[in-house]
Amino acid sequence: MSYLIRKANFADLSPLVEMARTSFVQAFTEGNKIENVNAYLEEAFTEEQFMDEMENPASVFFLLEVDGVLVGYAKVNFVPAQTDLQDNSSLEVARLYLLAEYIGMGLGTVLLTHTINFAKLNRKKYLWLGVWEKNRRAIKFYEKHGLSVFSSHPFPFGDEIQTDFLMRIDFH
């Protein structure tokens, strides 16, 4: 298996949105009302929304390809695109997703390590992200890689308000 991580460009928009929608549904259908999943998809996972995010110079999308197939992505935010903290000394991982059939192969580690290295290259003091409090597998994954919970925030999801843990890793 050979993999490649590269920055997304506008030619990637359609395949990125398609893969992002699939990976989101795979990650969040269990434990959520399908109406809320679908409402969020139509709000946050459209080509228009992704185009706006790709055009934002404070956001970067990294694509993970395995044998030429797009299987995952990460989106990172600098200030002012950050969702919660707005801290110039930090980098936010706004999204990190893999297609379900590629989970458990070490590719999540590859993608997270890439974002950590990107933060360090940009002289950030720490990296942070939000993760749904009920996503135990993701929380364990991030803890295994040195992140720890430092706060939480409400996350509107359809007709519910869910809680996301905020996790971070500090660089020395």
Q: Please tell me the predicted confidence (pLDDT) of residue 30.
A: 87
Q: What percent of the chain has pLDDT over 90?
A: 90
The mean per-residue pLDDT over the stretch 22-35 comes to 91
Q: Please tell me the predicted confidence (pLDDT) of residue 31.
A: 86
- 90: burial class by Cβ within 10 Å (0-12, 13-18, 19+)? buried
Q: Which domains does the chain have, with CATH numbers?
A: 3-124 (3.40.630.30)
pLDDT at 167 > cutoff 80: yes
CA dihedral angle for residue 5, residue 10, residue 11, residue 13, rounded to 10 degrees: 80
CA distance 56 to 140: 31
Helix/strand/coil for 122: coil
Q: Please tell me the predicted confidence (pLDDT) of residue 51.
A: 97
pLDDT tens for 93-119 read 999 999 999 999 999 999 999 999 999
What is the pTM assigned to this prediction? 0.94
CA distance 124 to 143: 20
- Per-residue confidence band for 47, with pLDDT thresholds at 50, 70 and 90: very high
Q: What percent of the chain has pLDDT over 70?
A: 100
- DSSP H/E element including 154: strand 148-157
Sign of the CA dihedral running 9, 122, 89, 95: positive
Q: Please tell me the predicted confidence (pLDDT) of residue 124.
A: 98
Which residues carry out catalysis? 142
pLDDT tens for 69-97 read 999 999 999 999 998 888 999 999 999 99
Q: Please tell me the predicted confidence (pLDDT) of residue 1.
A: 81
Q: Please tell me the predicted confidence (pLDDT) of residue 40.
A: 92
Q: Please tell me the predicted confidence (pLDDT) of residue 26.
A: 94
